[in-house]
Amino acid sequence: MHPVLTLVAQRISLGVLLLLAASALIFGLTEVLPGDAAQAILGQAATAENLANLRAEMGLDRPAYTRYFEWLGGIVTGDMGNALTNKLPIAEQVSRRMGATLFLAFWAAIISVPLAILLGLIAVRYQNRWPDKLISGITLASISLPEFMIAYILVFVFAVQLAWAPSFASVSPGMPLLAQLHAISLPVAVLTLVVLAHMMRMTRAAILNVMQSAYIETAELKGLRTFEVIRKHAFPNAIAPIVNVVMINLAYLVVGVVVVEVVFAYPGMGQYLVDAVVKRDVPVVLACGVIFSAVYIILNIVADVVSILANPRLRHPK
């Protein structure tokens, strides 16, 4: 078998094993949580009969490993069960909430990924000069601030003081696209600032590492302009680490939006997970946890596969 196909198959197999391990870990953590889930849902005034009925409905009267394999089989077939609080199918709620989260992540990625690569190229072109120092300083400050602080600063400036954007990202399916974009402008700005800094700095570091190669010096001796050397020779050979960091940050845009969605009351997966944790809705917590794990693992597999395919020594072995 070709070395590239072997490595790709190994990465995919490892991803499947990681996903199984993550599902077992998530299920196990919900099992060892202190307190009685049925008691937390029904409250202290619940009767013994009501508690027994709810425990039977939740499957708490059966062994943990039996419930795990039943739950895992349901996840594989798309049956996530019903929420304990409102009795609605979790799959339908997840589908709607996931669509909202992906909508938010999509527009943040559309802005942040090209901008991060462009700023990284500019920083390399003007290395150790004022554009490089300005870009690096702003991105370092962005990395240093937590998401909720950036969110509250933007809300105070653009929602309270200037009234340019709403402080709550209220989005409904029937809204026009421009109205939806206006509603999510502040959470998109927060996510862009958070992931932009990391991607830009990693892009800069990857290109500077390639710029030390001998073929870069040869291209410079041929009289090519610095930006042409970076664009035609350095950037294509630094694409593997750049793709890795882009995929990691794309995974964050989907998985790590919990704080941003809570701050802006955005009806996405993060808000759904927080509500379920507060209400001790274990089936919803399990479903959200395994979905977040799957998104993160799948995007990392994609990053590994792209890195493998971008390596010419693997594509053309001697």
Chain segment 238-265, per-residue pLDDT in tens: 777 777 788 888 888 877 778 888 888 8
Distance CA 304, CA 244 (A): 7
Using the 8-state DSSP alphabet, how is residue 62 labeled? S
At 89, is the secondary structure helix, strand, or coil? strand
Residue 269 lies in a domain: yes
Quote the number of domains for the chain: 1
Question: Are 1 and 10 in contact, with CB atoms under 8 Å apart?
Answer: no
The pLDDT of 50-63, averaged and rounded, is: 71
Q: Has residue 317 got a pLDDT over 60?
A: no
**The pair of three-digit structure tokens given for residue 244, joined into one six-digit string:** 């890795």
pLDDT of residue 236: 73
Question: Are 93 and 170 in contact, with CB atoms under 8 Å apart?
Answer: no
pLDDT of residue 44: 66
Residue 105 lies in a domain: yes
Using the 8-state DSSP alphabet, how is residue 82 labeled? B
**The pair of three-digit structure tokens given for residue 56, joined into one six-digit string:** 């039977």
Residue 200 lies in a domain: yes
Average pLDDT, the chain: 81
Q: Has residue 231 got a pLDDT over 80?
A: no
Residue 314 lies in a domain: no
Residue 64 lies in a domain: no
Q: Has residue 128 got a pLDDT over 60?
A: yes
Residue 177 lies in a domain: yes
Could you please report the per-residue DSSP string of 239-269? HHHHHHHHHHHHHHHHHS-HHHHHHTT--SH
Q: Could you tell me where the beta strands, DSSP code E, fall in the chain?
A: none
Distance CA 152, CA 193 (A): 13
pLDDT of residue 49: 73
Q: Has residue 158 got a pLDDT over 80?
A: yes
Q: Has residue 318 got a pLDDT over 60?
A: no
Q: Has residue 289 got a pLDDT over 80?
A: yes
Distance CA 154, CA 150 (A): 6
pLDDT of residue 17: 92
Residue 109 lies in a domain: yes
Find the domain containing 187 and state its range.
99-277
Q: Which is more confident, 244 or 72?
A: 72
Q: Which is more confident, 90 or 307?
A: 90
Residue 43 lies in a domain: no
CATH, residue 194? 1.10.3720.10
